[in-house]
Copies of this chain bind each other. A is one copy, B any other.
Amino acid sequence: MYKRSLILLFTAFLLTYSFSQAPDAHTLFIKNIYEESLTARNTNTVLQQLCQKFPRRLSGSNGLEDAVQWTKSLMEGYDFDNVFLQEVMVPHWERGEKESAYFYNSKGKKEHLSILALGRSIATPVAGISAQIIQVGSLQEIAQLGKEKIQGKIVYINKPFEQHFIRTFEGYTETVKIRTRGPSEAAKYGAVACVIRSVGTADDDYAHTGSLLYAANVPQIPAAALSVKSAKKLESALQHNPQSQLYLKINSKTLPDKMSHNVIGEIKGSEKPEKIIVIGGHLDAWDVGQGAHDDGAGCMQSVMALRMLQQMGYKPNNTLRVVLFTNEENGTKGGKKYAEYAFKNKEDHIFALESDAGAFTPRAIGINGPDSLVQKVKNWIKYFPDFTIDKIIKGKGGSDVEPLHKEMDTPVGSLMPDSQRYFDFHHTHADVFEAVNARELEMGTASMASFIYLVDQLGF
């Protein structure tokens, strides 16, 4: 009842004001986007469905392709003007049977560790690997120890998350090198396997997976991440017995590449249908938890931002397009392919905005574009209610929209939610629907809808 009367009110409002560029109209429209989102909680409803129906959406999995079909149907059900798929070949890595690791403590008792193989890791032999552990605190230390100390051992990179950064993404960028580059760095000096302390902010027992990058011309070795609690347990064991051995078993396999899809839905522009404004997130997720924050939330926020504008009777000047990218996690093939198609088809993109930093209260929008544009857009902050988007800053798009910037110089951007909790959940079994707060999620939807509304109204 409330919703219906709101929509009627706004349709009347639109007809009267014809979306003049008066600040009052924009401010009022955006206020109502937030109120409607917080009241109806529709993003929360569809995110729950996505997470519960298709919790596992790693590239190559049936779960991902089922989610592709489901999100396509969802947008078709909303009567978007066009809903279609884009073919994308993606890597197909599987974890296989659950990995395991243990050591014997000083009393001879077997201590199991909470562990996840890193994405792309090769398997251990079927019997597993047992070897002495050599603990290091950094990549540099591996090189310093050299072949003499490393050869034949399992390198354990025990580097805590760089907590002192206020934005956890900066701490992540600093710390994640041990995950991406650690295994090959260890292999260079003859390590037989590599385990790392999880790149996560919480002091808990969830291991964090994520991609490693095998360097060319270096033997590939199995690699996994320990939960922070398990990392501390192992650290303490090594203090008692520096000769401790670790048993590690990983059952992964890499299969031939497989066909996946970007899922696209759009509402055609009434004045300049050839001009495109993109919002999106990535539909694939690591094969643990439900990919709720990373990035089911970004996908559902993008779909529901468009849905909300549609329901409010808004007729865009330009074409508004949702893109749910495939394969962000272990390849970024979806984002790259999208930019390729856009280039090949000479599509005219005004702007692309991504949500891939968790379903937390939005605080800023980061823009990667010319300084003059960023300066202009900074003034739009006046249209946002207090305690929603606090600032619009020079920043980056996410990894799925950046290829569009590289390929065609399209300005791109990202929704920047509060970052304190993101790396508690990132790439873990804890990244489930229940870890998402409905109001925070909806604030993200409203922020995206509001921002693309402004781009559509005021131009870029």
Instruction: Please give the residue numbers on chain A whose beta carbons come within 8 Å of chain B beta carbons, in ascending order.
Output: 34-36, 38-39, 41, 163-168, 201-203, 361, 363-364, 385-388, 390-391, 418-421, 424, 437-440, 443
Give Cα A391–Cα B419 distance, bound, in whole angstroms.
Answer: 18
* With A361-B420, A420-B361 as contacts: A163 and B439 at CB distance below 8 Å: yes
Inter-subunit contact A38/B164 (CB<8 Å): yes
In contact, A166 and B385 (Cβ under 8 angstroms): yes
Complex Cα distance A165/B35, Å? Answer: 7
Please pick, from B35, B363, B421, the residue contacting A439 in the complex, using a CB distance under 8 A.
B421
Copy number in the complex reads: 2
Establish whether residues B388 and A390, one from each chain, have CB atoms under 8 Å apart when the complex forms: no
Report the bound CA distance from A431 to B167 in whole Å: 26
- A387: chain B residues at CB < 8 Å are 166-167, 363-364, 418-419
Within the complex, the shortest CB–CB distance from A110 to chain B, in Å, comes to 29
For A35, A418, A419, A443, the residue with the greatest tally of chain B CB atoms inside 10 Å of its CB is A418
Grouping DSSP codes into helix (H, G, I), strand (E, B) and loop, the A interface class, with mixed when no group exceeds half, is: loop
With contact pairs A168-B439, A201-B439 given, residues A38 and B163 touching in the complex (Cβ less than 8 Å): yes
- Across the interface, which residues of B come within 8 angstroms of A164, CB to CB? 34-36, 38-39
B34 touches A361 (CB 8 A): no
Q: Once the chains bind, are A166 and B34 in contact (CB under 8 Å)?
A: yes
Which chain B positions have C-beta within 8 A of A163? 38-39, 41, 439
Q: Which residues of B contact A443 (CB under 8 A)?
A: 166, 420
**Cβ of A202: which chain B residues have Cβ within 8 Å of it?**
438
CA distance A420 to B417 in the complex (A): 13
Q: Are A203 and B438 in touch, CB under 8 angstroms?
A: yes
Asked whether, in the complex, the Cβ of A166 is within 8 Å of the Cβ of B388, the reply is: yes
Partner of A166, one of B41, B168, B363, B386: B386
Given contacts A418-B361, A418-B418, contact A38 B166 (CB under 8 A): yes
Interface centre among A386, A440, A443 (most CB of B within 10 A): A386
Ordered by A's residue number, 11 sampled pairs between the chains whose C-beta atoms are within 8 Å are: A36-B164, A38-B164, A38-B165, A39-B164, A361-B361, A361-B420, A363-B387, A363-B390, A387-B419, A390-B391, A420-B437
Give chain B nearest CB distance to A252 CB in angstroms.
Answer: 32
Q: Closest Cβ of chain B: how far from A404's Cβ, in Å?
A: 26
| Cα distance, A137 to B419, chains bound together (Å) | 38
B residues near A41, Cβ cutoff 8 Å: 163
Q: Which residues of B contact A38 (CB under 8 A)?
A: 163-166
Q: How far is A421 from B34 in the complex, measured between Cα atoms in Å?
A: 16
Ranked 4 nearest A-B pairs via Cβ: A35-B164, A420-B439, A390-B390, A420-B440
In the complex, the chain B residue whose C-beta lies closest to that of A32 is B164
| CB atoms of B419 and A440 under 8 A apart | no
Q: How far is the CA of A201 from the CA of B421 in the complex (A)?
A: 20
**A418: nearest chain-B partner, CB-CB:** B361
| Best-surrounded residue of A34, A386, A439 (most CB of chain B within 10 A) | A439
A437 to B391, CA, bound (A): 24
Residues of B contacting A34 with CB < 8 Å? 164, 166
A401 CA / B156 CA spacing, docked (Å): 51
- A201 contact set on B, CB distance < 8 A: 438-439
CA distance A421 to B443 in the complex (A): 12
Bound: A420/B424 CA distance, A: 18
Q: Which residue of B lies closest to A393 (CB)?
A: B386
Contacts of A388 in B (CB 8 A): 166
- Residues of B within 8 Å of A385, CB to CB, are 166
A168 to chain B, nearest CB (A): 7
Expressed in whole angstroms, the minimum distance between the Cβ of A31 and any Cβ of chain B is 9
| Smallest CB separation, A420 vs chain B (Å) | 4
Q: A135 CB to closest chain B CB, in angstroms?
A: 17
Q: How far is the CB of A139 from chain B (nearest CB, A)?
A: 19
Tell me, rounded to whole Å, the shortest Cβ–Cβ distance linking A235 to chain B: 15
Which residues of chain B are within 8 angstroms of A421 by Cβ–Cβ distance?
A: 437, 439-440
Write out the residue numbers on chain B whose beta carbons fall within 8 Å of the beta carbon of A361. 361, 418, 420
Instruction: Give the chain B neighbours of A363 by CB distance below 8 A.
Output: 363, 387, 390
Contacts of A167 in B (CB 8 A): 386-387
Distance in Å: Cβ of A132 to nearest Cβ of chain B: 27
How far in angstroms is the closest Cβ of chain B from A355? Answer: 16
Q: How far is the CA of A385 from the CA of B170 in the complex (A)?
A: 14
Distance A385 CA – B166 CA, assembled complex (angstroms)? 8
**Nearest B residue (CB) for A203:** B438
